Amino acid sequence: MSAIPRKALIAISSYNEPFYPDGTKTGLFYTEALHPYQALVKAGFEVDLASETGTYGIDEHSTEKQFLSDEDEKIYHDANHKFNVLLNKHLHKASDLDAKQYGLFFASAGHASLYDYPHARGLQSIAEDIYKRGGIVSAVCHGPAILPGIKENGKSIINGKTVTGFTTEGEVVLDILEKIKKDKVPTIEEGAAAVGATYVAPPTPFADFNKTDGRVVTGANPASAYSTAEAAIAAFDKA
């Protein structure tokens, strides 16, 4: 169907500031963009990457061995890998893109998303256009921070829908909830509730878990990035 091209946009957070108790920065959680990219390419999608500003920084904890499989680590250190070339040489600024080129929107994450996605009107407007044309809007972990601002007929597209995302319990486990509250940024659960969405948690904060409700697909954490993209692809094929 020409209205919804088999082309995906992966949104990347542009926020890259000190965040963690040890002073390291948050930014893009690497595998939360890499794994969706891999799933989308495997399913025959053309894929672009974009941030609100056309810039990004890495979440410094996301490239630790505990978060990377051997394959992930190999890719991370390969500057010529197609994903890294897209990320580091061809990252688009949202406002420079033509939304009508895309049929699927996927918001990758990192705690950074809590800080810039709620105000990222360029990315939000692309997602709105995709959704209006019958495409898919998806997000993983802290990526659902963008969803309250994606609107249709004046209301968030998640109003009345069931979504998941990183749990408040997980923020406590990571010793980060106090920082989030101090900075006055809503958690994923708070953001969903504020626009009339129902939040469902994974069985445990870091279990692979995703939720599809119509053309909105959400995932809970880094472990869910690949399966959430697969669920988004399934929703696209159904649409």
Known catalytic residues are 141-142, 171
**What SS3 state is found at 139?**
strand
- Grouping H, G, I as helix, E, B as strand and the rest as coil, residue 72 is helix
Q: Which two tokens stand for residue 143?
A: 């990526």
Rounded to an integer, what distance in angstroms lies between the CA atom of residue 90 and that of residue 53? 13
**Cα distances (Å, whole numbers) of residue 146 to 30, 114, 157:** 18, 8, 11
* One-letter amino acid of 192: A
Of 47, 42, 238, 225, give the one whose Cα is nearest residue 143: 225
How far from the centroid of its chain's Cα atoms is residue 150's Cα?
13
Q: For residues 53 and 78, what is the distance between their CA atoms, to the nearest angstrom?
A: 25
- Rounded alpha-carbon distances, angstroms, from residue 48 to 78, 82, 219: 19, 11, 20
Measured CA to CA, the distance from residue 218 to residue 153 in angstroms comes to 21
